[in-house]
Structure 1
Amino acid sequence: MTVTAHTRYESGLPPLGNLVDGQWRLAGEGFDVRNKYTDELIAELPEAPAETVTEAVRVLDRAARAELLTPADRATVLRRTAELLEERREAFATLMIDEVGFTRSDVDGEIDRAVVTLGLCAEEATRLTGRTASFASSPGQHHRLGFTVRVPLGVVCAITPFNSPLNTVLHKIGPALAGGNAVVLKPSGQTPLTAALLCATLLDAGLPPSLLALLHGVDARVGELLLAEPDIAFYSFTGSTKVGRAIQRGAGLRRTQLELGSIASTIVCADADLDRAVPRIANAGFRKAGQVCTSVQRLYVARSIVDEVTERMVTAATAMPSGDPRDPSVRVGPMISESAATRVSDWLAEARHGGAQVRCGGGRNQSVVEPTVLVEAQSGMRVVDQEVFGPVLTILPFDELTEAIDGANDTPFGLAAGIFTQDIDQALRAARSLRFGTVHLNEPSSSRADSMPFGGVKESGHGHEGPAYAIREVTEERLVTLNPADPG
């Protein structure tokens, strides 16, 4: 194919190809990357052919066995990548504003967090340790010594989503590289350019080219080819539960880390500090156009304060203008596609027809959906029972805390939840009873620090991100024993 770039973007685009052993390959059927607000063509990229996938994995497997970098070398590369990321902030920002639809505040948050993630990965590269093992309980073996070491798995495959095309990518490939693995990255076909610029930056920072491959694709084909490669030892995936199930089936006995679907809830008790709670909830519900797996979707509010919270949420939502993400005053940009925005609009129409009331927002202009606050919604409506993945927040009143906890738990998912209360007994009761991978006290469901363990339960997946935890996912523990001569 002939790889093309729109003239407006030519000077600022990363290499437009699949990356194998340091070479950018142009072979493959082309697909378009478009501006998510204007629908303007940014570039055409090649999907990775089957032979490119096979070659990439073969190169990576050979490099992984060669131990090309010491732990200190890995840390140096990751720190240098963080420095280059700061130097190239505007290039990354331009790409994410256009190919993802991020506003400037979304972009700055993504880049700031990515720098932190790289620093954390660099630290973990040099302090990955095992533990000692005891033989004292076995008669006649008390003189033996034992310890474990962590060793890399080999080739790690990272399959990443559109809604965090920089930091989520780094949460997968950063720990993998820090642990001594080689990595093949398959980014979202909707946001491949940010991933390409990141890969180019890693190479510029000194990463040996044979340790990193980038393979593009817009549908399941490239992912299926990667699942069929026996030399891949580990799969890390963020996306839908449906695709996660397919990856788990295809991986077989190989290890996986899966971050899947979510319906995130936050609870506001009668004694909550609303000056603190409401701004955090509004940001957590509407940033990145609500396209975050932990975005507040269900907001359970004590009935005694539901009117006040509703009015405050409406005020907060209307103070977040939506529209062109290049406009610095805009807080809520477009969704990833017009079809995604149309789906949300259809769900809102269905909810209205069923008796729900839109207190603010609800409008759609092509791919932009206004921040929306719903009341009077009921179980059975898709805005309540399915993952909206858009800027829609539904307020649900409760009388007893048990009612809110049971409601939040009543989904197949369990990624993150939040509760606002000044009562320590209520807080601990919620922490024990909410079946989620993370329960935030006096923070909303979408409240993540990059150093913390992050992962779900139930159909939200298994395994953890967070560099100190992810690096253990992508390494294996090996026991070494020593049996000295009996001194007696």
Structure 2
Amino acid sequence: MMQEEIQPLYIGGKWMKKNDTYPLYSPVDNSLLTNISAADEADVVQAIESAQRGFSALKQKSSLERSQILERVSSLLEADKEKWSNIICIEAGKPIRDARAELERTITTYKLAAEEAKRIHGDMIPMDAVAGGANRIGFTAKEPLGVVCAITPFNFPFNLVAHKVGPAIAAGNAIVLKPAEQTPLSAIRLTELLLEAGLPKEAIQLVTGSGKRVSKPMLEHYLVKKISFTGSVPVGKEIKAKAGLKKTTLELGSNSAVIIEPDSNIENVANRCVRAAFAYSGQVCISLQRIYVHHKVFEQFVDIFAKETKKLKQGLPQKETTDIGPMISPQAFARVDEWVNEAKADGAVVVTGGKGENNIYEPTVLIKVNPKAKVSCEEVFGPVVSIYPYEHLQEAIANVNDSSFGLHTGIFINDITKAFQAAKAIQSGGVLINEVPTFRLDHFPYGGVKESGYGREGVKYAVEEMLETKFYMINVNEEE
């Protein structure tokens, strides 16, 4: 990619390069990758008005036609997987093996969306089930909302976009897509693929740049019917405060935890937890951040976990052997380092890691951490894990729940009765029994409680939240 290139917006069915740009730097070495067109409020208003026209075109498409568009997107991604994986690797600094895994999930997500496009239906209402309803036929139909604004994060630049764009198209909505500032390249290429796949040219709009700069019309314009946002808690709260009656889905922060009972296979669980904690340097919404281990097996677990952590290879994300690559930015690196040092000053003990260089932070294992330390009670979004012992399962559950977040929680346990009791007591959008909280498949419901947000993704569930229910009734009583 040539440094002098300016990457365009896509608004009103046209690609347009702005004089106002911002530089996109590599997370690996901070070198200039390219320059990105910076949208302003006027651009967003134009995009929203154009998307409304695109919606009018898309809603004329049948369910089959929308499904076929999404199938073609999936096929186009499948045809050149290495190309798209390398874009993730370059702009997000994600290790290439993880980038390939994300691309495979993205292909699946669009396939799932294609299937859901053909499953949208209403219900028959038994009108005569109540007095006055005889000789009437009632039924519901599902209709698209209109314009959906999708605001996405940097950490899964293809797949988390797919979780908003795919369901929106399946439901018949037009999309205004605002990708993260650090990862616009994948969104630009995706827009090209959507158009190649046959999406009406105004049914997708792409605005890149600062969220603060472009958010006002997204939150306030009357034509926007839904906002789907994945990102930080403060921004999520601002969206909720300003969106008014617009539908919103907010997938926000987490400090995901796992509970490990003594009847578990400790070696196997420890190995799985290492991957759950440190994949993509912990920059995953459901990255494992807190581990609660029964005191009888605590030392054994910490020993195995630390040994396996030390085996992880740090390096350039393009290398096939790399497990731990760079943080997304020097600012992210500095924040993680600051939080670890704060925890150490408050009594935490570093088992391994605790430092870094060249924007790569070592996978870090802490014990004796104050539960109120930022590395425990806030979202680290970095390669840092705190491990705590506990005596009784109820104590562990209470510790898990003592959090402002509640996205995913894992528990390893062989007693099925206790497992279900624990799952019911845990305050979390998802409880995964005998699995790490970082586990996610793209068709199951995904979302949180408390400050982890509300609404659900997972293709079927996202489609449902992008539809309105309309009621129809026919009076067939000839005497009235």
The alignment's TM-score, normalised by the length of structure 2, stands at 0.97
Name which of 57, 62, 82 aligns with 2:48: 57
The separation in 1 between residues aligned to 2:208 and 2:29, in whole angstroms, is: 23
Deviates more, 1:67-76 or 1:285-294: 67-76
The separation in 1 between residues aligned to 2:116 and 2:449, in whole angstroms, is: 25
Question: What does residue range 72-91 of structure 1 map to in structure 2 within 5 Å?
Answer: 72-91=64-83
Distance 1:361 1:133, change over 3 A: same
Name which of 456, 463, 483 aligns with 2:475: 483
Distance 1:71 1:28, change over 3 A: farther
Question: What does residue range 85-234 of structure 1 map to in structure 2 within 5 Å?
Answer: 85-234=77-226
1:450 and 1:466 in contact (8 A); partners too: yes
Name which of 372, 396, 415 aligns with 2:388: 396
Unaligned segments of structure 1, at least 5 residues: none
1:21 and 1:211 in contact (8 A); partners too: no
Q: CA deviation at 1:470?
A: 0.6
Deviates more, 1:116-125 or 1:31-40: 31-40
The separation in 1 between residues aligned to 2:90 and 2:404, in whole angstroms, is: 34
Find the residue that maps to 2:397 and give its secondary structure.
helix
* One-letter amino acid matched to 2:25: R
Find the residue that maps to 1:440 and give its secondary structure.
strand
Q: 2:12 — aligned with what?
A: 21
The separation in 2 between residues aligned to 1:269 and 1:53, in whole angstroms, is: 51
The separation in 1 between residues aligned to 2:132 and 2:336, in whole angstroms, is: 68
Question: What does residue range 300-339 of structure 1 map to in structure 2 within 5 Å?
Answer: 300-339=292-331
- Deviation >6 Å, runs of 4+: none
**Counterpart check, 1:6 vs 2:12:** no
1:31 and 1:47 in contact (8 A); partners too: yes
Find the residue that maps to 1:6 and give its secondary structure.
coil
* One-letter amino acid matched to 1:243: V
The separation in 1 between residues aligned to 2:362 and 2:329, in whole angstroms, is: 14
**Counterpart check, 1:449 vs 2:441:** yes
Q: 1:435 — aligned with what?
A: 427
Q: CA deviation at 1:5?
A: 3.5
Q: 1:415 — aligned with what?
A: 407
* One-letter amino acid matched to 1:6: Q
Q: CA deviation at 1:87?
A: 1.8
* One-letter amino acid matched to 1:367: N
Q: 1:380 — aligned with what?
A: 372
Find the residue that maps to 1:209 and give its secondary structure.
coil
Find the residue that maps to 2:148 and give its secondary structure.
strand
Deviation per residue, 1:258-297 (Å, 9 max, x gap): 1011111111111112243222211111001101111110
* One-letter amino acid matched to 2:433: L
Deviates more, 1:47-56 or 1:160-169: 47-56
The separation in 1 between residues aligned to 2:479 and 2:308, in whole angstroms, is: 74
The separation in 2 between residues aligned to 1:263 and 1:363, in whole angstroms, is: 21
Deviates more, 1:113-122 or 1:278-287: 278-287
The separation in 2 between residues aligned to 1:243 and 1:84, in whole angstroms, is: 34
1:27 and 1:49 in contact (8 A); partners too: no
Deviates more, 1:197-206 or 1:295-304: 197-206
Find the residue that maps to 2:202 and give its secondary structure.
helix
Deviation per residue, 1:329-377 (Å, 9 max, x gap): 1101111101111111111111112221111112211311111111111
Deviation per residue, 1:161-219 (Å, 9 max, x gap): 00111100000010001100100000000111111111111111111111000001134
Aligned length: 479
Q: CA deviation at 1:487?
A: 8.3
